[in-house]
Structure 1
Amino acid sequence: MDAASITMTALATTIGTVLVTGFSHRLAVKRGWRDDERRHARYLAIRLVCILDEFVNGCLEVAYDSGEYDSQGYSQATVSSPSIAMPDDVECKSIDSALMYQALSLPNQVASADRSIAFYGGFVATPPDFSEYFEKRRECYCKLGLSAIDLSDKLRVEFSIPNYEAVNSDWHPSEDFENVLAKLAALNAAHAIDPAELIPT
């Protein structure tokens, strides 16, 4: 074998080694980056689930709040409405965009519900019990609670986060919200005015 052949073989071997090593390194870096991104996404999902669980608990308290009479004889809320704030110190692109939209739009849904409740409190409800206000408030927070549970369940499935009900076997907020909504619907149906009654005879 002449010197030129040896040089060509050595050069080809060196180039091949560099290419294989570079490709392997790039593959390892990419795999590591994906693993880091998945870990980051799971961490964010866990944070969101914990925030949602706390919000659901607050919604559940409101769902059962029909008010109590104060010393003046007017009905007042016994619990504060829960608020929700999504973390803003994390990279949201690591979670599926549909899930992130659902999460980031929840505070807007809460604000919209609060405006509707305030309208009922200011223009629809009548003293001293303000029943229309409390019914609207309970209805809105039942629906918000169900939305939060839906999102929490999706995140738990996507990121293998244990189900809260599995740890707390007597905690079934979905059923509670559905039961309250059914009772409120029955109450509204009982109070509904037949349009025919509004027509003078």
Structure 2
Amino acid sequence: MIEALIGLLGVLVGSAITTAKEVWTSRLQHRRDGSFSAIRLICILEEYADACVSVVFDDGTAYGRPAGRTESGEEYCEPQVEAPAPLEFPEDISWRSLPEPLMHRALALPNKARSTSRAISAASEHAFPPDYEEVFSARQEGYALLGLDALEVAEDLRNHYRIAVKSHVQFNTEWNAMVFLREKVAAFKEAA
């Protein structure tokens, strides 16, 4: 009888060890998938934010003068930087391995970009030459918000997965895109 109990105990301990190993291995793989996906997203989001910053700087002028000119010589402001295309994420991102709030925020960015494009189009219907102030204001504010959202999601992913390495070189250590965008967003809110 004791031998049967020892045998049963051995089977139970063996299955507990096997189950614990499988759970540990599964969690480790889930963490690795999440870390890889976070790194991919951070690079994509920071690249997108850089494109948004370029749009925020664009005021429709070149060398301090309106960038467009009609055939009759009248000057008008014209965008010098193309708006970034809405985000498209690669298929190798393991979305389920990411924390749900961060996943949602990242996946919501393309919808926000489309909404921003619609708002800019609506503003263009009520803009007047030569400076088209309504269009440039809507463009700058919209892409400041999008760029800030992208950088904040990237930063939260970096913090969650403890990723210290930045995905781009910073030549000017005095300038920070997130600070710049936050200041721009605050200025737009104050002006409203």
Alignment: residue pair count: 180
Give the SS at the match of 1:76: coil
Paired with 2:46 and 2:121, the residues of 1 have a C-alpha distance of: 25
Contact 1:113 1:140 in 2 (8 A): yes
Cα 1:150–1:10 change in 2 (3 A) is same
> 1:26-37 alignment to 2 at 5 Å?
26-37=19-30
Asked if 1:41 is matched to 2:43, the reply is: no
Paired with 1:158 and 1:175, the residues of 2 have a C-alpha distance of: 21
Contact 1:99 1:151 in 2 (8 A): yes
Q: Which residue of 1 aligns with 2:110?
A: 107
Cα 1:140–1:176 change in 2 (3 A) is same
Q: Which has the higher contact order (CA 8 A, sep 6+)?
A: 2
> 1:37-76 alignment to 2 at 5 Å?
37-68=30-61, 69-72=67-70, 73-76=75-78
Moved more, 14-23 or 35-44: 14-23
Paired with 2:129 and 2:168, the residues of 1 have a C-alpha distance of: 43
Offset at 1:11? 2.5
Q: Which residue of 2 aligns with 1:78?
A: 80
For the aligned residue pairs, the C-alpha RMSD in angstroms reads: 2.2
User: TM-score normalised to the size of structure 2?
Assistant: 0.84
Paired with 1:77 and 1:183, the residues of 2 have a C-alpha distance of: 21
Offset at 1:86? 2.6
User: TM-score normalised to the size of structure 1?
Assistant: 0.80
More helix by share: 1
Structure possessing the higher radius of gyration over alpha carbons: 1
Asked if 1:11 is matched to 2:9, the reply is: no
Offset at 1:179? 3.5
Q: Which residue of 2 aligns with 1:160?
A: 162
Structure 1 gap ranges (5+): 1-7, 190-201
Deviations 1:150-201 (A, max 9, x none): 2111111100012639963344012212333455567x57xxxxxxxxxxxx
Deviations 1:34-58 (A, max 9, x none): 0000110111111111111001101
Asked if 1:177 is matched to 2:173, the reply is: no
| Identity within the alignment, % | 31
Paired with 1:15 and 1:99, the residues of 2 have a C-alpha distance of: 45
Paired with 1:90 and 1:133, the residues of 2 have a C-alpha distance of: 35
